[in-house]
Chains A and B, each alone.
Chain A
Amino acid sequence: MNTVDSGNAASVRVEIDDVQSGALRPRPVPYAGKFLFLHVDDRRAGRALLRRLLPVTSGGLPDADRGRDAWVAVAFTHQGLRALGVPQESLDSFPQAFREGMAARAELIGDVGESAPAHWEAPFGTGEVHIALSALSSDVARLDEELEGARAAYEDTPGVRVIWQQEVRQLPTGRTTFGFRDGISHPNIEGVGLPGSNPREAPVKAGEFILGYPDETGGLPPMPVPEVLGRNGTYVAVRKIHTSVAAWRRFLRANSSSAEEEALLAAKMVGRWPSGAPLTLSPEHDDPELAADPHRVNDFLYREDDDRGLRCPAGAHIRRANPRDATIIGDARMHRLIRRGTTYGPPLPEGVLDDDGADRGLVGVFIGAHLERQFEFIKAEWVNDGNFIGYPGEKDPVAGHHGGTGSVTIPEKPVRRRLRNLPSFVVTRGGEYCFLPGLRALRWLAELED
């Protein structure tokens, strides 16, 4: 393995125009989008589809106006690459997690019980998903424009079938189904020309997110062969997560004695207030003005003022997902991810505490160059355990699967609060590991022969 002198790494420039927009761009605000899974019956048909998709697949930096951003992205499961006739040597050169697929890794990442693959929505986890096509835009009209080209491509290609689709759209509140603003945090990646959301975050090496560049270890991320296939690609964990909003509201109500207490308890579990204002900067009450300021809303660390978690609990959702500089086991910079959550389904009307039977939740994409060290590590160590912050066995209060036996510790003086018997607030409906190739690699796939 070649190592690159980190002193020179600052000069790394990512070939951003070859990187699919679906890899690095933050989610537009507001947004509308669509996810489609395709099945390739015939490898030549699959390649013909890719040739038609190439002109509509976007690369490069976002529109300067984040409100006008839009893109189409094309990603592949390992089965999908096989279905396209990618040579065996190349298929075997991908990392084990990707080759096995998300369903095979369910136990490791905590998809057990009602979230186990046996209960997943078809075609998740069946091996039938070959191509994951997604489009995301700042408004519905732009989305239709973007999708039109893609639709023409898959509708006009016999031998390729749409087997699943899911529309996603920002709720009128601009918040998740649980009622919190999301999409705030985005890593500061070296050499891509996109600012991170936290001015205090030292740039993370490009190789943590894009194949072909040095990563935080100083080496190059493991790449599939041939080089043209791997370079400028990355991995995407796509998950559909059902949210039990009524259960969430009932839990908060049952564990507080006033509206103020209820709001604080929810914020302690999430790590931010509904507006997005972080507890670390605004520990007592929501602060919409702070939340609306893009320079301040994510401008914080933990160690200096909040290492014990008296403001933002160490076990809060956003602090687990991104512990920043907090005292933990290991090195948080080895486990960064790009996250894009997008909401599906209707909101549960304000104040309703009973489940209305509607399916609502999010389609989340989790992007990084190392599935095992990033997505899977975060699920196993940070979301589904608490040993790394000194609470062995305690899970993420929001994203963990608790099954009625979870607990959450909220540091407080003089005595911490510990809530027990947490139910699960999320259920995994399904997920797939995908490879999101660079544009040259997409062309290489389209031009495979035999």
Chain B
Amino acid sequence: MTATSGAPQSAHPERPGRSDGVCTEFTVFTRIKPGEGDALRKDLAALSDAGDDARVHAAVRQIGTLHDARHVIFDDDTRFMFASVFDGSWDSYIDDFAQTVVGARFDKVFSHSEGFPGVTDPHVKDWFVAHQAPAEVFLSAYPDLTVQQIWKDQRVDDAFQEVLDTPAFRAALDNPANAELVSSPAFQKLLKEAEA
């Protein structure tokens, strides 16, 4: 592996991978065991089963620090790429999730890669680092937001939009008793978002 590029504020300075704000990219390239390309493809298809979207996304929600992930088979079924973006460092919670259904899925997918020691092996982090290729450039459109924050923001906006659709809210804005609140800079910011 060439020079690492962990951002100085990274909580795990010894782990490679480029950061932008709170999140870090994590990309791994492995060799697929000879003849196992189709088996891997089948396991990945089962993972992303379009008919069971709730189950597929439940696993991602359970992790709670994973922004996105992609699995790519390439070079005539000889190589495999796992590319992802995590809050903090990808390995912070690997021990936690090795015990869960998420860990079992990881184990299954990487079991088709040469040399994979198993997700519960104490040296699994070293194996991933040995197969990691840090990005030269990694940019996020929302570098300050963790997955948790994005979910919270979404819940808040959903609730806010519901409030805007409530006639009693319009009436409250016009009520002189609320004038002080409505004219406050913080509330005006909120109304700016409510205008359009």
Chain A residues proximal to chain B, CB less than 8 Å: 1, 3, 96, 107-108, 216-219, 221-222, 329-331, 334, 373, 377, 380-381, 385, 387, 390, 392
Per-residue CB contact flags for chain B residues 62-76 toward chain A (1 = under 8 Å, else 0) read: 011100000000000
Instruction: Report Cα–Cα, A96/B64, bound state, in Å.
Output: 27
Q: A108-B11, A330-B93, A331-B99 are in contact. Are A217 and B64 (CB under 8 A)?
A: no
Instruction: Give bound CA distance, A96 to B8, whole Å.
Output: 19
Additional pairs, 9, CB under 8 Å, beyond known A219-B120, A380-B11, A392-B148 = A1-B118, A217-B95, A221-B122, A222-B122, A334-B99, A380-B88, A381-B88, A385-B11, A392-B149
* Inter-subunit contact B120/A108 (CB<8 Å): no
Q: In whole Å, how far is A369's beta carbon from the nearest beta carbon of chain B?
A: 12
Q: Are the C-beta atoms of B120 and A218 separated by less than 8 Å? A: yes
8 smallest beta-carbon distances between A and B, as pairs:
A330-B96, A329-B64, A331-B96, A380-B11, A392-B146, A330-B93, A222-B122, A387-B146
How many Å from the CB of B37 to the closest CB on chain A?
Answer: 28
Complex formed: what's the CA distance from A326 to B120 in Å? 24
Known: A108-B12, A392-B22. A219 touches B97 (CB 8 A): no
| Residue B161 CB within 8 A of the other chain | no
| Nearest-Cβ distance from residue B52 to partner chain A, whole angstroms | 24
Subset of 24 A-B contacts with CB under 8 Å: A1-B120, A1-B122, A108-B11, A218-B120, A221-B122, A222-B122, A329-B64, A329-B65, A329-B93, A330-B93, A331-B97, A334-B96, A334-B99, A380-B12, A381-B88, A381-B92, A385-B11, A385-B88, A387-B65, A387-B87, A390-B148, A392-B22, A392-B145, A392-B149
B13 pairs with A108, CB closer than 8 A: yes
**For B118, what are the chain A residues with a Cβ–Cβ distance below 8 Å?**
1
With contact pairs A329-B65, A329-B93 given, residues A217 and B98 touching in the complex (Cβ less than 8 Å)? yes
In the complex, what's the smallest C-beta–C-beta distance from B165 to chain A, in angstroms? 21
Count contacts on B: residues with CB < 8 A to the other chain.
28
Query: Which B residues are CB-close (under 8 A) to A377?
Result: 92
For B145, list chain A residues within 8 Å (CB): 392
Q: Which residue, of A1, A3, A217, has the highest number of chain B Cβ atoms within 10 A?
A: A217
A303 to B122, CA, bound (A): 31
Query: Is B14 an interface residue, CB under 8 A from the partner?
Result: yes
Nearest B residue to A100 via CB reads B14
* Known contacts A108-B12, A377-B92, A216 near B99 by CB under 8 Å: yes
A380 touches B95 (CB 8 A): no
Cβ-Cβ contact count across A and B, 8 Å cutoff = 63
Residues of A within 8 A of B57 (CB): none
Chain B: minimal CB distance from A75 (Å): 23
- A107, B92: Cβ atoms closer than 8 Å: no
Do the beta carbons of A373 and B95 come within 8 Å of each other? yes
- B126 to chain A minimum Cβ distance, whole angstroms, is 10
Is the CB of B152 closer than 8 A to any CB of chain A? yes
Query: Which residue, A3, A221, A222, A385, has most C-beta atoms of chain B within 10 A?
Result: A385
Contact partners of A217 in chain B: CB under 8 A: 95, 98-99, 120
Q: Mark B1-15, 1 if CB is under 8 A from A, else 0.
A: 000000010011110
C-alpha spacing A218/B96, complex, angstroms = 12
Nearest CB of chain B from residue A4's CB, rounded to whole Å: 12
Q: Is the CB of A330 within 8 A of B88?
A: no
B121 at interface, CB cutoff 8 A: yes
Q: Is the CB of B13 within 8 A of A219?
A: no
Q: Provide the bound-state CA to CA distance between A221 and B97, in Å.
A: 17
Provide the bound-state CA to CA distance between A218 and B88, in Å: 26
Q: How far is the CA of A107 from the CA of B121 in the complex (A)?
A: 27
Question: A216 to B14, alpha carbons, bound, how many Å?
Answer: 25
Q: List the A side residues contacting B96 at CB < 8 Å.
A: 330-331, 334
Across-interface contacts of B95 in A (CB, < 8 A): 217, 334, 373
Residue of B nearest to A109 (CB): B11
In the complex, residue of chain A having the shortest beta-carbon distance to the beta carbon of B152: A390
| Max count, chain A CB within 10 A of own CB: residue among B118, B122, B145 | B122
A63 to chain B, nearest CB (A): 36
Given contacts A1-B122, A387-B87, contact A380 B92 (CB under 8 A): yes
Within the complex, the shortest CB–CB distance from A74 to chain B, in Å, comes to 27
Tell me the smallest distance from the CB of A123 to a CB of chain B, in Å. Answer: 24
Give the chain B neighbours of A387 by CB distance below 8 A.
Answer: 22, 65, 87-88, 146, 148
| Shortest CB distance A49–B (Å) | 33
Chain A residues whose C-beta falls within 8 Å of the C-beta of B64 in the assembled complex: 329-330
How far is it, in angstroms, between the C-alpha of A3 and the C-alpha of B122 when the chains are bound? 11
| Chain A residue, CB-CB nearest to B9 | A107
* Closest partner residue, chain B, to A220 (CB atom): B122
* Distance to closest chain A CB from B177 (angstroms): 18
CB distance from A332 to the nearest CB of B (A): 9
User: Please, which residues of chain B bring their CB within 8 A of the CB of A107?
Assistant: 8, 13
Q: Considering the complex, give the chain B residue whose CB is closest to the CB of A370.
A: B95
Please report which residues of chain B, range 1-49, place their CB below 8 angstroms from some CB of chain A when the two chains form the complex: 8, 11-14, 22
CA distance A329 to B11 in the complex (A): 16
Which residue of chain B has the shortest Cβ distance to A217 in the bound complex? B120
Quote the shortest CB–CB distance from A388 to chain B (angstroms): 8
Tell me which residues across on chain A come within 8 A of B88, comparing CB atoms.
380-381, 385, 387
B120 pairs with A3, CB closer than 8 A: yes
Closest Cβ of chain B: how far from A58's Cβ, in Å? 31
Distance between B149 CB and nearest chain A CB, rounded to angstroms:
5
Which residues from chain A contact B14 at a C-beta distance below 8 Å?
A: 96
Chain A residues whose C-beta falls within 8 Å of the C-beta of B11 in the assembled complex: 108, 380-381, 385
CB distance from A176 to the nearest CB of B (A): 28
What B residues does A381 contact at CB under 8 A? 11, 88, 92
Cα A34 to Cα B11 in complex, Å, equals 33
Cα–Cα distance between A366 and B174 once the two chains are bound (Å)? 58
Collect the chain A residues with CB atoms within 8 Å of residue B87's CB.
387, 392
